[in-house]
Structure 1
Amino acid sequence: MKNLLLAATAALAIPAMAQAHFLLEYTTDTMIDAPGDVPVKLIFWHPFENGHVMDLELPEEFYMIHNGEKTDLKGTLEPVEFTGGENSGAAFKGSVPVKRSGDYVLATVPVPYYEASEDIYIQQITKAFLNRNELPTDWMNSVGLPTEIIPLNKPYNVIAGGTFTGLVVANGEPVAGAEIEIEYMAAEPDMDSAASSAPTVSPMAGGSVVAVSDADGYFTFGVPKAGYWGFAALGSGPATEHEGKELSQDAVIWIRAWNME
């Protein structure tokens, strides 16, 4: 138990998968000043090393939660091509109608992706967050997904050099011992083109950065740098099989960290 708790309170650079798959719900900003439609891109990619882009199918669900109300955004999605450092792949561009003050929680339930190199399916159920006028309304609440990471820090203005704590749940219940891959968005998508930016840092030595949830489903990570950070609880969901093959149903959350000025 002591070792498990230590693992949950610090990110460990230990070998996991050579490259981490991450579904992005990318917006240029997380804190929105003026009302309007905020562009968003859905990309299945390796953003730490600007690596391989996986083809993304039209998601099963794409919606937002604002003041506790769910709004379907799937109809805003249009197919686009996205080019990373290694290849191009199918992605989607949509929009989020940000009008009133408060939080806008984005949620995507993708179609399971077949990873031939591992002979498994991957389904990364993903959340990201926007806010208008600094009024917190929804960020701390469960969305009710099959599996998700519930943030205990306001996820759109985490302090670089501070910590982020999340709770991994499946069907609303804590998941103990979940392996959580941690990804820095070293390369970012360009909203006006089909390409990514060049990476600002290199991937960590030793493979993926990993933490483990404790006996109550919590993990804490010391955030070393400003920018977007992703956390994927691998296989934390209740579904374990798809079309006769193993399914890794992952809970993904994206946060934004800022330097103090």
Structure 2
Amino acid sequence: MCYRFFTLPLLLLLSTVCHAHFQTLLPSSDSVADADDKTLTFLLAFTHPMAQGPLMSMEMPRQFGVFLDGKKHDLLAQLTAQQSPNGQQFFHARFTLTQPRDHLFYLEPAPYWEPDEGQLIIHYTKVIVDAFEGVSAWDQLVGFPVEIEPLVRPYGLWTGNLFRGIVKHHAQAVPFAEIEVEYFNDDGVKIPASPFLTQVIKADAQGVFSYAMPKAGWWGFAALIEAEHPQKNPQGELVPVELGGLIWVRTRDMIR
């Protein structure tokens, strides 16, 4: 999979627009059926996926792993730090699938200080990969403070399918939660105006939301909640903390 972070004309056009931060956790595939193609590669980057930049520098994550059969398996040792041309750090990882079942990959990044917003940002992120058609537990939860529980199997999706989920905070549904949605725009979709960068939807009274994905590719859903307690920024000041529960899903076109 090819990832692009910088599309100069687009960034110049949108240079005055404040667009959404998204933590990516993108595997090379969401569904693996061929044993000869069993090694996944991952992109872990903190960026603006629809605008394809700029990239924000990541520190070493607090957690990165895979959730299997109700147990966490630490994969931090599989991370390889990379740098963008501007010196911003992001990570790649590799993982070889061996078991026919759903693999829930999860990430807790280190808090990111955003001085323009006066807050720290922590985006708890996950993606589910189907390995060898061993459908098992695609709706399992990691147990993050903020998390989206999928109500639709989050792989094997066609373009135009409706994705639905429940926003949960400490395992409880969040009524009328706000969810931001962005497409990972690595194929250069033209942005007609700034409202098209980030789609914004609200959950219903039961914390349930839905969104029909209009294009093939990776889509990120970010449920955003302010933390109950502030934390210290790099200057030692207590500041608000934005907690995000993110899930990435992929859609594909029907081709004859």
Q: How far, CA to CA, are the matches of 2:206 and 2:131 in structure 1? A: 32
1:248 Cα deviation after fit: 0.3
Deviation at 1:103, TM superposition (A): 0.9
Partners of 1:54 and 1:182 lie apart in 2 by 19
Aligned counterparts of 1:203 and 1:112: Cα–Cα separation in 2: 32
Q: Which runs of 5+ in 1 are unaligned?
A: 1-16, 188-197
CA offset digits 1:175-221 (Å, max 9, x no partner): 1121111000112xxxxxxxxxx523436542521000111110000
* Partner secondary structure for residue 75 of structure 1: helix
Matches within 5 A, 1:1-261: 18-32=18-32, 33-34=34-35, 36-82=38-84, 87-187=86-186, 199-202=188-191, 205-206=194-195, 208-235=198-225, 238-243=227-232, 244-261=238-255
Aligned length: 231
Aligned equivalents of 2:205, 2:56: Cα separation in 1: 34
Q: CA deviation at 1:239?
A: 4.4
Q: Identical aligned pairs, as a percentage?
A: 31
Q: What's the TM-score, normalizing by structure 2?
A: 0.84
Partners of 1:49 and 1:203 within 8 A in 2: no
Measure the CA separation in 1 of the matches of 2:116 and 2:179.
Answer: 21
Three-state SS of the structure 2 residue aligned to 1:93 is strand
The answer to whether the 8 Å contact 1:67/1:137 transfers is no
CA contact 1:67–1:102 (8 Å) conserved in 2: no
**Are residues 203 and 255 of structure 1, via their aligned partners in 2, closer, same or farther at CA, if it must alter by over 3 Å?**
farther
Change (3 A) 1:137 1:204: farther
- Give the Cα–Cα distance (whole angstroms) in 1 for the partners of residues 195 and 176 of structure 2: 21
8 Å Cα contact 1:23-1:44 kept in structure 2 = yes
**TM-score, length of structure 1 as denominator length:** 0.83
Flag the 1:133–1:201 CA change in 2: closer, same or farther, 3 A.
farther
Code of the aligned partner of 2:231 = H
C-alpha deviation, 1:96, in angstroms: 2.2
**Alignment partner of 2:88: what SS?**
strand
Higher relative contact order, structure no. (Cα contacts within 8 Å, ≥ 6 residues apart):
1
**Which 5+ residue runs of structure 2 have no aligned equivalent?**
1-16, 233-237
Stretch of structure 1 that moved more, 92-101 or 35-44: 35-44
Q: Supply the AA of the counterpart residue of 2:44.
A: L
Contact 1:104 1:131 in 2 (8 A): yes
Partners of 2:55 and 2:180 in 1: how far apart? 18
* 2:225 partner SS: coil
